[in-house]
Amino acid sequence: MNKTEIDVAYLPLVDSAPFIVAEHLGFFRRSDLRVHLHKEVSWAIVRDKLAVGSRDAAQMLAPLPAMTTLGVSGMRVPLLTGLGLSKNGNGITLSISLWHQLLRALGLPQDHLVSSANVSDVVRQAVLDARVLPRKLTFAVVHGFSTHAILLRKWLRSMGLNPDADVSMIVVPPSQMVDSLQEGVIDGYCVGEPWNTLAIDQKLGIAATWGVEVWQDAPEKVLCVTEQWHEANTNTHLALRLALLQACVWLSEPDNISEAAHIMSAERYLNIDEETLLRALSGRVVRSPDQEQEPVSELLSFHGAQTNQPGGAAAFELLDGCADLLGRPVDPVQRHLLATRCFRDDLYQQTVEALPGIR
Amino acid sequence: MQAAPSPSYKVMLVDDEPDRAEWVREFLSKAGMEVSTAPAGRTLLKHISDVTPDIILIDIESPDRDMLESLSVLSAHQPTPIVMFSEKRGTEFINAAIAAGVTAYMVGEIEPTKVKPIIDAAMAQFQAFQGVRKALDDSQEQLRERRNIEKAKLLLIQQHAMNEERAHQFLRDQAMQRRLSLGAMASTIIKKLEAADRTGVAKNE
């Protein structure tokens, strides 16, 4: 028996847009689904509620279905995804007071242009030369098994640094990032929007880099269900994927972006002002409080084969990033099994075939 | 030298409800455990590194859970908590944890069998606290209902010249007709009669 009334969990973030839009514009209803959206406070509780069946489906960090199936993150439950919901969308913020301190130490002007290349250059020197900064930098991410953690490691490696030895990494909930930066508990963080933009607007941070500049086609959020639930509700799962894919397509139309920002800003959803949301959704961001807005291509993407297809090369790259986090390689056979079991391209194909006119 | 006492685990309770934290702490302390409490939020990491607890008990709905679960992944210089939920325990345990509103993490190198009684005891206390609170809420609700019933009867007696028995009968009949509880019917009647009284006063003026 397939359910027609389902409970779906999400975290209030900019890339929750597909869920919010699907509810608000009636995509769920048109798929003959009655969906109750539930705002949750942590990925851990989302996973627990999925596992015990108090939620039918959920938004999830892309690495978590595989890592939870593997049992290395919190608990072992077989989870899967048949639809990617977003790609990229993260940024790395650096404390603005640290930035100015480092510029002084290096004899650079205080209005040194904030660009990906310049920030990398300054941070590299600060980490490698104790005369520039006589202490370790501390960076925060929102979850141990997240694209944020992988991205931060890729960024540090791109500068020739060792993420395990050269800096400290901690986990801080997104809502506490900006305050932690202000209090000097952390020197920087990697997080999704709007938390980078909020720090920049409050003159507390600069954008060290945007995720897409370090890692193109980074899977970000996926639609996640338990293997067990999928088997019992294959039709409901398909209807849900259809509704959400339609929402993703709608969100990829530039003309719809300001309406999306308006819908999402409501108190019952994100409760954040429209203008801040609009910047992340439209890919027009600022890197420093003193600089103009500039477009960043594919800053956050909701639609396209690279975004919605969960498996393929991107899934393997993601698994390799997770192995890097764990500090040990994943056995090649296990890697393949995990990729095909948790990132279900067959379910994605089924969704696309049911939606004529979708790439 | 005397033999060291049998090892007891350092338990840290992370809870923003001081009453509940105190209730559980007292119980676990009496059972011979070393228990400290810490508020959720930004200072939690510092508390953990100061106290180096063996077991952390935290509200299952706390935003800090992602941080706790990630400690083991992220770095070597943090304590490495391992989540209580093991494969064998399955979802029943988590169901219970969700029902009790608490979840547990423990540091590696601890045998799950030794910790289970601690966790069970703590969860039973959490549940008992919910029970106590509910009983308190229930009795206050009953008290309020009883007061409302008396007040409704009094208004009926004053405004409609009923005797007490008649007022009681009226209240009960109305409640039955509308399928309301006596308390709910009483507050409806109070609202109506008080409104009528106010208009009455206005007319008289």
Q: Are A246 and A27 in contact (CB under 8 A)?
A: yes
Segment A304-310 mean pLDDT: 90
The pLDDT, as a whole number, for residue B181 is 85
Q: Over 80: is that where the pLDDT of A92 sits? A: yes
Q: d(Cα A188, Cα A95) in Å, to the nearest integer?
A: 6
pLDDT of residue B1: 39
**In 3D, which of A241, A263, A257, A203 has the Cα closest to residue A346?**
A241
The total of other beta-carbon atoms located within 10 Å of residue A247's CB is 25
What is the ipTM metric for this complex? 0.82
A316-325, B33-42, B53-62, B163-172: which range is least confident on average? B53-62
Half-sphere exposure of B103 (CA within 13 A, CB side): 27
Share of residues in chain B with pLDDT > 90 (%) = 2
Inter-chain residue contact A52 with B86, CB threshold 8 Å:
no
**Residue A168, beta-bridge partner list:** A138
Taking 80 as the threshold, does the pLDDT of residue B205 lie above it?
Answer: no
- Provide the pLDDT for residue B81: 39
Look-up of token digits 């029902």: B99
Q: Do B65 and A44 touch (CB under 8 A)?
A: yes
Nearest to B56 by CA among A86, B3, B45, A227: B45
Q: What is the mean pLDDT of residues A8-19?
A: 95
Predicted local distance difference test score (pLDDT) of residue A74: 64
Query: Which residues of chain A have a CB within 8 Å of the CB of B64?
Result: 42, 173
Omega before A12 within 30 of 0, i.e. cis: no
Q: Does B94 touch chain A (CB under 8 A)?
A: yes
Residue A156 in this model has a pLDDT that exceeds 80: yes
DSSP designation for A343: B
Name chain A contacts of B62, Cβ cutoff 8 Å. Answer: 41-42
- Model pLDDT, residue A326: 82
Cα B37 to Cα B14, B22, B29, B103, B159, distances in angstroms: 6, 8, 12, 15, 57
Highest mean pLDDT among A22-36, B18-32, B130-144: A22-36
Taking a C-beta distance cutoff of 8 angstroms, is the pair B51, B12 a contact?
yes
- pLDDT tier at B2 (50, 70, 90 boundaries)? very low
pLDDT at B113: 59
Structure tokens at A287: 């890197």
Asked if the C-beta of B80 comes within 8 angstroms of chain A's C-beta atoms, the answer is no
Query: Global pTM?
Result: 0.78
How many CB atoms sit inside 10 A of residue B26's CB? 12
Helix and strand tally (H, E) in chain A? 18, 13
Q: Are A44 and B69 in contact (CB under 8 A)?
A: yes
Other beta carbons less than 10 A from residue B110's beta carbon = 15
B109-143: pLDDT as tens digits = 455 556 666 666 666 666 666 666 666 677 777 88
**Does A161 have pLDDT greater than 70?**
yes
* pLDDT band of B80, cuts 50, 70, 90: very low
Query: Residue A234 in 3-state DSSP?
Result: helix
Closest chain B C-alpha to A55 CA, distance in angstroms: 13
CA distances, A170 to each of A68, A93, A125, A183 (Å): 20, 14, 22, 15
Answer for the pair A279, A201: CB distance below 8 angstroms, yes or no: no
| pLDDT (tens digit per residue) in A249-299 | 999 999 999 999 999 999 999 999 999 999 999 999 999 999 999 999 999
Does B20 or B157 have the greater pLDDT score? B157
For residue A289, the tally of other CB atoms under 10 A from its CB is 15
Q: Cα–Cα distance between A227 and A16 in angstroms, integer? A: 22
What's B86's DSSP letter? -
Residue A321's closest CA among A89, A64, A87? Answer: A64
Q: Residue B164: which pLDDT band, with cuts at 50, 70 and 90?
A: confident
pLDDT at A137: 95
Stretch among A101-105, A159-163, B5-9, B71-75 having the lowest mean pLDDT:
B5-9
Which pLDDT value is given to residue A188? 97
Q: What share of chain A is helix, strand, coil (3-state, %, to 5)?
A: 45, 20, 35
Asked whether the beta carbons of residue A41 and residue B62 sit closer than 8 angstroms, the reply is yes
B65 touches chain A (CB under 8 A): yes
What DSSP line would sit under A139-207, residue for residue? EEES-SSSHHHHHHHHHHHHTT--TTTTEEEEE--GGGHHHHHHTTS-SEEEEETTHHHHHHHTTSEEE
**Would an 8 Å CB–CB cutoff place A190 in contact with chain B?**
no
Nearest CB among A76, A144, A326 relative to B87 is that of A76
Q: Is A71 within 8 Å of chain B by CB?
A: yes
Which amino acid belongs to residue B131? G
Nearest to A180 by CA among B69, B14, B41, B49: B41
| Most confident region among A43-47, A214-218, B60-64 by mean pLDDT | A214-218
Residues from chain B that touch A179, judged by Cβ atoms under 8 A, are: 42
Q: In terms of CA atoms, which chain B residue is nearest residue A167?
A: B75
Nearest beta carbon to residue B66 from set A44, A71, A76: A44
Closest alpha carbon to A310 in A150, A147, A81: A81
- CB proximity B88 to A under 8 Å: no
Please list every residue in chain B whose beta carbon sits closer than 8 Å to the beta carbon of residue A148.
Answer: none
Task: Write out chain A residues lying below 8 Å of B71, CB-based.
Answer: 144, 171
| Predicted local confidence at residue A42, as pLDDT | 86
pLDDT of res. B87:
31
Give percent above pLDDT 70 in chain A: 98
For A173, other C-beta atoms within 10 Å of its C-beta total 22
- The better pLDDT of the pair B97, A128 is held by A128
Tell me, what's the pLDDT at B86? Answer: 30
Name the residue with higher pLDDT: A58 or B190: A58
Q: For residues B33 and B119, what is the distance between their CA atoms, to the nearest angstrom? A: 12
Indicate the average pLDDT of chain B.
71
Confidence of residue B3 (pLDDT cuts 50, 70, 90): very low
A312 touches chain B (CB under 8 A): no
Judged by DSSP in three states, B38 sits in strand
Give me B94's structure tokens: 């988590």
What is the predicted pLDDT for the residue at A190?
A: 96
Closest CA to A145 of B69, B5, B129: B69
Quote the CA–CA distance of A249 and A128 in Å, as a whole number.
45
Instruction: Choose from B56, B73, B75 for mutation: most chain A CBs within 10 A.
Output: B73
Q: Do A180 and B72 touch (CB under 8 A)?
A: no
